[in-house]
Amino acid sequence: MAAISASMVKELRERTGLGMMECKKALQEADGDIELAIDNLRKNAGLKSAKKAGRIAAEGAIVTRTAEDASLAVLLEVNSETDFVSRDDNFKGFAQRVVDRVFETKNQDIASLMEGELEDARSQLVQKIGENISVRRAAVIEAPEGGKVGAYVHGDRIGAVVVLKGGSEEVARDIAMHVAAINPAVALPEDMPQEKLDHEKSIILAQPDMAGKPAEIAEKMVLGRLKKYLAENSLVAQPFVKDPNQTVAEYAKQAGGEVVSFVRFEVGEGIEKEEVDFAKEVMEQARRS
């Protein structure tokens, strides 16, 4: 019998969406032949998952869980192929099960988190629903001593957690709502990466009204516009979405808080979605038939 390596099991899992033990058993029965193992799995409903596993899962939901004392919060993204499935109670139940595990273990490494029963549950859900389901990412966010975290999720598609020094969970949650709506680049001006500032500076210097300006005047203009750029893109300097007459920093301060950081997840961000031409697909199927 051929030796069954971890990489072989991993490949079969990726191609089928089935659990580790099921894949290992299938490979053992097929003497290490992955293609034969897939053929054998087709005979016991494995094909349904195998067909779906390669599809892009760019829909889904963002879920959170916050400690009762607001000292810790978890943000999680679970993906599906369609928005319809993300509203399914079975999908929601699975997502809640995963976020609870992250909360209990503080483990945000998806590979190790999903080993064992959670991966088996995911595979069973794939079989039941008929779509590829994947747990994409998790974040465990802790408040500093005496601080608070607040979480907000909008329509299951955008989630944010804000960390405050001092303040209250309610204030942190209000600011998380702002983060979800406005999507600031950084929490504090000093958090802005230097490469972004350099890029913005190059754009400013290339603007028509900068041409021919003396160096000292050009430098003052650049500094002024960079200050404006930082104000527009830093959370604390933005007009608060619920009261534009004050900044986010001012809103936090009046409640005895200070913004430390935030984490924001949006479903499918950064995933290249597959473009499907349904008319073309129907025509091709018609020609084949």
CA nearest neighbour of 242 among 233, 252, 232 = 252
pTM attached to this predicted model: 0.72
Q: What confidence category does residue 251 fall into, taking pLDDT thresholds of 50, 70 and 90? A: very high
CA nearest neighbour of 43 among 58, 26, 63, 31 = 26
Q: Is 272 exposed, middle or buried (0-12, 13-18, 19+ CB in 10 A)?
A: exposed
Q: What confidence category does residue 284 fall into, taking pLDDT thresholds of 50, 70 and 90? A: low
- For the stretch 23-74, pLDDT in tens is 888 899 889 988 888 777 766 544 444 444 445 556 889 999 999 999 999 9
Using DSSP's 3-state secondary structure scheme, residue 221 falls into helix
Q: What confidence category does residue 221 fall into, taking pLDDT thresholds of 50, 70 and 90? A: confident
Out of 24-28, 96-100, 191-195, 213-217, give the one with best mean pLDDT: 96-100
CA pair distance 103, 129, nearest whole angstrom: 26
